Structure 1
Amino acid sequence: MSLPDTHVRAVTERAVTAVRDTTLTRSEAARAGRGILAELPGLRTGDALASAVLTTAAPQRMAVYDRRVQHSLHTLGLPLTPAPGRYGRYLQLLDDLLHHGAARAAGWSARDIDTALYWTGGNPSQPAPSRPNPHKP
């Protein structure tokens, strides 16, 4: 399916405007931008690619979501279901972490936390490498 370039640009312009709208909370802006991007084929389901687009548009406000982040959140006992609206709930979760961290999180952004979650998540599709046993030859 091919869409006219003008249509794709109009949709992405609306999404960029939404995530940069500082009258909205970060999670509201994320929900709005994500909802707009869902109008485009290939961005209707899943949040990884859409979150990367939105984070590029507003790097100080948005954060990237992917399977590594999901794996880290699960490991930390922080639930984030795949139900509709996940990206907005994810940004709310990051805001909660920033607020909870208070002084320790001073100067941190949602993007900083998503980067930490990404690296903590490792590669969930691969088993962890085994460590050599120093007691076996």
Structure 2
Amino acid sequence: MKTTTDTPADEEFAALCGRVWDVLAPARAGYLAGVSPHYDEVLHEVAQRTEHAGSLGKTDIAALVVWKRFSAQTRWVTELMSLPDTQVRAVTERVVTAVHDTTISRGEAARTGRGIIAELPGFRTGDALASAILTAAAPQRMAVYDSRVQHALDTLGLTLTPAPGRYGRYLQFLDDLLGHGGQLADGWTARDIDTALYWTGGSGNPPHPAAP
């Protein structure tokens, strides 16, 4: 039976955690060696602007669409671009506040932020782009979720179901991993884990050009 990230049994999760970290550490090294150090500059710049402004605007979201290599030729993009930037920022300002709320757990903050961003076109279903927005809003606390991460979880014998609240459960799982990692987790963020999972989910095939 698989361990599930939705309802993890403490003993089962603790036993599995060491094996997961045995995969994460070399996968993170592979990611750093195989992906250009410049690739995440867009994410970092959006995160810096978000920290300064306290919200994300349409330009920031557009940059993250490119960063995640999504198609912009979709109906939701037209709907989002048709909204005034002030309306978009009013929503994302609440997202920023939610994901920075340290009075609640990382998973609950993620769940709350994910629910708020769903008010905007393009974010009602699927967690990939929404997670990029939340990660830009709180890069030291949130993490990116996508199909390669999901594949890695499946490969590691973990199940993250697509039921409502998936992103919150995913962040809670990352929080649990950090809490059970001991010295292996020193210096790691949830974002570091997501890049390691991303690399694992791609079977070590670099998705982006390597650094020269």
Q: 1:113 aligns with which of 193, 206, 210?
A: 193
TM-score, normalized by length of structure 1? 0.86
1:106, distance to aligned residue in structure 2 (A): 1.4
Q: Which structure features the higher share of helix residues?
A: 2
Structure 1 unaligned spans of 5+: 124-137
Corresponding position of 1:25: 105
Rounded Cα–Cα distance in structure 2 between residues aligned with 1:33 and 1:63: 12
Residue 96 of structure 1 pairs with residue 176 of structure 2 = yes
Question: CA offsets per residue over residues 28-47 of structure 1, 9 Å max, x none?
Answer: 11001000000001000000
Q: What is the DSSP-based 3-state SS (H/G/I as helix, E as strand, rest coil) of the residue aligned with 1:45?
A: coil
Corresponding position of 2:127: 47
Aligned residues: 123
Q: 1:34 aligns with which of 109, 114, 123?
A: 114
Rounded Cα–Cα distance in structure 2 between residues aligned with 1:90 and 1:45: 15
Residue 63 of structure 1 pairs with residue 147 of structure 2 = no
Rounded Cα–Cα distance in structure 2 between residues aligned with 1:74 and 1:100: 20
Structure 2 unaligned spans of 5+: 1-78, 204-212
What is the identity percentage for the equivalent residue pairs of Structure 1 and Structure 2? 80
Question: CA offsets per residue over residues 93-126 of structure 1, 9 Å max, x none?
Answer: 1111111212211111111100100011107xxx
RMSD: 1.1
Name the structure, 1 or 2, with higher relative contact order (CA <8 Å, separation 6+): 2
Corresponding position of 1:85: 165
Q: What is the DSSP-based 3-state SS (H/G/I as helix, E as strand, rest coil) of the residue aligned with 1:116?
A: helix
TM-score, normalized by length of structure 2? 0.56
